[in-house]
Every structure is written in structure tokens, then in C-alpha cells.
């Protein structure tokens, strides 16, 4: 389960999102960091036996800084009010696929895949989709995947209205080729966060993304 200390800190930083409060509560933040690390380790212990590509990961590879990057944001509040955990066969500085856990009271979710790849990686993924769309369709039609995640997340911003360059509009996989981001997700009810088997239950959901992550990894790492 998610520690009550985590919930309390996230609620408090949301209500006191300023540097003065944060500096006055450094000890409180250090307690939160310890709980953060314990939760990450619990996920690593659960997930690594199910996905060997995660075996190299340590806690520090899966956590995020609490400070927000506000350089290009209209929102100038300095600190994040959620907890993020990223488990990937790559690293935080690469765009290989992985599993993501987002903890924020009332707004928690899980997901995975590749989020907004750069142009070069996008071309690689589209090429893999075009040539091996049957492999992708088999993954997306898997009963467990469909039950947990449905399909790729699709919005007005992450999908082209027309066919991408170099692909015919009647390509059998055109709806996947239009995508600019390849992720699948599921919202998480707050009740599950306090379940004693939270880590185990979430891990069982996340592992349904493994075949998709493997497909995307193949796309990004296979030499032409």
C-alpha cells in the first residue's frame, strides 16, 4: 500500500507550494523521500522477476526530482504535487519504453509504452508498425491487455488527421501509423492505493504491457 506519509506530504506540498515552506520542512521532505524509495524498491522486487529487462535498475534510476521545470511553463509553482515511478529497460535519459506509476490523490494512473518519441524514433516505430502490424495487432487484441488498457491512448494532439509522410492512406495499419505517441494507460482509484496488496495488484496490471514494450524496444533498437 501507499504510505499515509506519502499522501500527507503530497497534500501538504499542494497547499504550500512555495520555497519558503519547503525549506522550513526539509526533515519532513526527507521522510517522504524514504517512503518514496521504499515504494520504488517494492515495485522493483515485484516487477523484475516478471520482466528481466528491468534487472539493472536501482531506486535512483526510477525516481524523479520534486522540483518542476518552470522555464517554459505559465504555472510557476516550484514543486510537483505527485509522485512518479518509471521502470524501463532503458534509462530516464533515453526514450525506450517502460512502465509508469503516477500517484496523486484523485488523479492516479498507470501506463506504459513510448511517450512522444522524437522524429528519428517515431520513424523507427512507424516502420516497425508498417512491416509487422500483425505482431502489434496480436498484442493489442490480447485479452489481458484489452481488459486493463483497451488500446493505445488517442487524442486530438497525439494523432495525425491524415496519413504520415511515406505511407499510403489506405495502409492496413494507418490508424496506428497516424499516432505520434505510443502509450496505453489506466486510471487508478484512490481505494486501490491503500490496499495492502497495492504493489502486487498494480504490477499484475502493468505486466500486461510487457509485449507492447518489447515490440517498441525492437523498433527502436533494431539496426536498418
The domain spans of the chain are 4-221
Strands 182-187 and 98-103: unpaired
Asked if residues 90 and 159 have their Cβ atoms less than 8 Å apart, the reply is no
Asked if residues 158 and 116 have their Cβ atoms less than 8 Å apart, the reply is yes
Q: What is the pLDDT of residues 160-177, one digit of tens each?
A: 999 998 899 999 999 999
Look up residue 1 and give its three cell numbers: 500500500
pLDDT exceeds cutoff 80 at 113:
yes
pLDDT exceeds cutoff 70 at 155:
yes
- What is the pLDDT of the chain when averaged over all its residues? 94
Residue 28 backbone dihedrals phi, psi, to 5 degrees: -60, -45
Asked if residues 209 and 88 have their Cβ atoms less than 8 Å apart, the reply is no
Look up residue 16 and give its three cell numbers: 504550500
Average pLDDT over residues 26-33: 97
Q: How would residue 91 be classed by pLDDT, with cut points 50, 70 and 90?
A: low
DSSP β-bridge partners for residue 98:
88, 113
pLDDT exceeds cutoff 80 at 22:
yes
pLDDT exceeds cutoff 90 at 13:
yes
Question: What is the per-residue pLDDT for 109?
Answer: 98
Element at 100 (helix H, strand E): strand 98-103
Question: What is the per-residue pLDDT for 10?
Answer: 97
Q: How many CA atoms lie within 13 A of 83 on its CB side?
A: 24
CATH of domain 4-221: 3.30.930
CB atoms within 10 A of CB 206: 26
Element at 112 (helix H, strand E): strand 109-114
pLDDT exceeds cutoff 90 at 92:
no
**Distance set, CA 113 to CA 33, 69, 78, 125, 198 (Å):** 26, 23, 28, 11, 21
Nearest partner of 5 among 37, 49, 48, 41, judged by Cα? 37
**215 CB contacts (<8 Å, ≥6 apart)?**
128, 132, 135, 136, 139
Nearest partner of 92 among 103, 102, 84, judged by Cα? 84
**116 CB contacts (<8 Å, ≥6 apart)?**
158, 180, 181
**Distance set, CA 217 to CA 3, 94, 150, 162 (Å):** 33, 11, 20, 26
Average pLDDT over residues 209-214: 98
Lowest-pLDDT range of 145-149, 168-172, 207-211: 168-172
Average pLDDT over residues 70-87: 92
Amino acid at each position: 500500500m501507499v504510505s499515509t506519509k506519502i499522501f500527507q506530504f503530497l497534500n501538504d506540498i499542494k497547499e504550500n507550494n512555495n520555497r519558503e515552506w519547503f525549506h522550513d520542512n526539509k526533515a519532513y521532505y526527507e521522510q517522504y523521500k524514504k517512503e518514496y524509495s521504499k515504494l520504488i524498491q517494492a515495485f522493483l522486487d515485484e516487477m523484475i522477476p516478471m520482466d528481466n529487462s528491468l534487472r539493472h535498475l536501482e531506486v535512483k534510476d526510477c525516481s524523479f526530482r520534486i522540483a518542476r521545470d518552470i522555464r517554459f511553463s505559465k504555472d510557476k509553482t516550484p514543486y510537483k504535487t505527485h509522485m512518479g515511478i518509471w521502470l524501463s529497460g532503458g534509462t530516464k535519459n533515453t526514450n525506450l519504453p517502460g512502465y509508469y506509476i503516477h500517484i496523486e490523490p484523485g488523479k492516479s494512473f498507470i501506463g506504459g509504452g513510448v511517450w512522444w518519441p522524437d522524429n528519428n524514433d517515431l520513424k523507427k516505430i512507424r516502420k516497425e508498425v508498417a512491416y509487422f502490424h500483425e505482431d502489434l495487432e496480436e498484442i493489442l487484441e490480447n485479452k489481458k491487455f484489452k481488459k486493463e488498457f483497451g488500446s493505445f491512448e488517442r487524442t486530438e494532439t497525439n494523432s495525425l488527421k491524415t496519413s504520415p509522410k511515406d505511407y499510403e492512406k489506405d495502409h492496413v495499419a494507418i490508424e496506428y501509423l497516424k499516432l505520434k505517441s505510443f502509450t496505453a494507460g489506466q486510471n487508478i482509484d484512490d481505494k486501490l492505493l491503500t490496499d495492502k496488496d497495492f504493489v502486487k495488484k498494480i504490477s499484475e496490471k502493468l505486466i500486461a504491457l510487457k509485449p507492447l514494450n518489447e515490440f517498441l524496444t525492437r523498433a527502436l533498437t533494431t539496426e536498418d
